Amino acid sequence: MTEYADHFKIGNTLYYFNAQQVNGHTVESNVPANAMFARYGTSSTAASTTAKTASISGFSISQGALVAIKFSYSNTASNPTLNVNSTGAKYIKRYGTTAVGTDEATSWKPGEVVILIYDGTYWQIVGRDEQVEEEDYTDTAGYHNSVYRGNYIGASYTSTQKTAVSTGTFEDMFIGDYWTINGVNWRIAAFDYWMAKGSVATSYCSTHHVVIVPDTALVTNAKMNKTDITTGAYVGSDFYKGTNNNTARATCITAIENAFGSASILAHNTVLCNTIDENGKDASSSVYTSKVELMNSSMLGGGTLEHGATENLGQLPLFFLAPQHIAIAGNANGYWLRNSFSLTDFEAITTGGFITSYEASYQGGARPVFAIK
């Protein structure tokens, strides 16, 4: 359909609006004798109402009658009808017998002028192809994972933010943004990092989430084990199990739940190492339900882990886009990673942000990773 100021064209037929009346139709002095005429009217029927009505002064219905109706609202009703000037409710169709849809793409938008022709049975929408809206790819995890902003976004996890996370739009949240709660900067490290990942398809994570890493260690004097051993790898450590009076992991969990609420913390499947080889390297692993863990070296630096079998989902976007966040200030002891390095050491990050290893009984920092939903 080609539109002009006073008329429009479909194929080789001209349809006119406005000007003087001739034989009850609105025409202009220069209108061709074989032109057809569209009568303009309005409809303020609610979107959810099936029976649409419109007013056009002096209108009478007959086969071939053409109207241009400005609808104040879109349509959400199934199989709607149109009654112009009480001439009778007629179903509105597209492409002959196809019912008008219940969305703007297959019906009309609020305020749109729709051209309809009466075929003797139905009102047929003419000249309007199905409108395919361009998808907004900015409301996706992929887009938000690609933008570092680093803004302060509040002192609490608000209901508006929860909705943006649960729907997967992540509106007004970007990598590096942070909440300051209970004296800790809780910084966004990724969006949907564990989404659609798991040991088998039936255990995949299907909940939208935001991955968070605090700017500082939540515990500054954490030990992986009471003595310098790595038997059982990460899952076998005192840190993970809470044995030998090791409360560091529990302290981290409490701080996280106090900041965001226990109901907001995502539980998801993850792969954790539970045995070491003869050299003390991570050897094998199993799937565990996880909420709060230490990071592994892949999350910080990317690439393939040098040894063992553990979760390797790649570098967190925070550390790719802003690697300055790998190092943390205010803790001279660095912080632990969950990879076993030798028969006596676990991997760790120094105060300068470099990877190293410490003996398991060393008092290092606990800087966990977790996700909110």
Residue-level pLDDT at 135? 53
Which one of 79, 100, 125 terminates a domain?
125
| Cβ neighbours of 373 (radius 10 Å) | 17
Quick one: 149 and 263 in the same domain?
Answer: yes
Asked whether residue 119 falls in the same domain as residue 151, the answer is: no
The range of the structural domain enclosing residue 70 comes to: 2-125
Query: Residue 196 domain-assigned?
Result: yes
**Are the C-beta atoms of residues 217 and 328 closer than 8 Å to each other?**
yes
Do 163 and 237 sit in the same domain of this protein? yes
In a domain, 307, yes or no: yes
- On the question of pLDDT at 32 being above 50, the answer is no
Q: Please give the Cα distance from 314 to 318 (Å, whole number).
A: 12
Selection from 214, 216, 197 nearest residue 205 by Cα: 197
- The reply to whether 95 falls in a domain is yes
Say if 342 falls within a structural domain: yes
Residue 110 has pLDDT above 50, yes or no: yes
Q: What is the pLDDT of residue 37?
A: 60
133 in a domain, yes or no?
no
Distance in angstroms (rounded) separating the CA atoms of residues 369 and 189 = 9
Confidence check: pLDDT of 158 > 90: yes
pLDDT for 185? 97
If asked whether residues 150 and 174 sit together in one domain, one would say yes
Q: Confirm whether 134 is domain-assigned.
A: no
Same domain, 68 and 152: no
Q: Count of domains in the chain?
A: 2
Q: What is the pLDDT of residue 59?
A: 86
Same domain, 76 and 165: no
- Same domain? For 215 and 312 the reply is yes
Q: Are 298 and 248 spatial neighbours (Cβ–Cβ below 8 Å)?
A: no
